[in-house]
Amino acid sequence: MKGTAGFDFAAGARRVAGVDEVGRGPLAGPVVAAAVILDPAAPIDGLADSKTLSERRREALAEEIRARALGWALGRAEVEEIDRINILQASLLAMQRAVAALAPPPDHALVDGNHCPRLACPAEAVVRGDSRVAAISAASIIAKVARDREMVELDARYPGYGFARHKGYPSRLHLEALRALGVTPVHRRSYAPVRRLLEEGDG
């Protein structure tokens, strides 16, 4: 993996934030984003796309990132916002909120994917950035650990749906639970499987 410096420290930026989000695909729960400014003098070994890491490894790396980064912050968009403005715009909003919460503020942002939110600093989209840029990998890890923990909490609040296992993604277990137990307040009503169940209930 290239370090963040391989992309933009040469351009004069001193504080470069990596930005990523998790939770675009699930049927339930918020979309959560993170922004991380790594310390170039204190590199962290093992950073990678959070999806490729074991839960135990993600947890360990998240703790190290929070302890050693120059700055990190989370942002989110709630289910109601996802349903109102669509998941792409909600993801951009969550990333915007994460970057706005960073202290110190970044000089530049590298954003995973091919869309950039509107930010107060220059920003660059990096396709597959979570596997190419250390700061984006760090953001993906922080965001996923935070969202996964929240889904475990929702599992306790809404037993029977399996949120702790599938984290809200449309697994067979989740779809069967939805049909058996119905739609909760944390389900995304604009997503087709949830919307169809609601329409069937109205009919």
On whether residue 187 sits in a domain, the answer given is no
Instruction: Measure the CA dihedral 5/38/68/43, to 10°.
Output: -20
* Count: domains in the chain: 1
Q: 142 is in which domain, residue-wise?
A: 5-156
Return per-residue pLDDT of the chain as tens, 203 residues: 444 434 444 355 689 999 999 999 999 999 999 999 999 999 999 999 999 999 999 999 999 999 999 999 999 999 999 999 999 999 999 999 999 999 999 999 999 999 999 999 999 999 999 999 999 999 999 999 999 999 999 999 999 999 999 999 999 999 999 999 999 999 999 999 999 999 987 64
What pTM value is reported for the model? 0.92
On whether residue 29 sits in a domain, the answer given is yes
On whether residue 13 sits in a domain, the answer given is yes
CATH code of the domain in which 45 resides: 3.30.420.10
On whether residue 202 sits in a domain, the answer given is no
Comparing CA positions, the residue from 39, 43, 94, 110 lying closest to residue 71 is 39
On whether residue 166 sits in a domain, the answer given is no
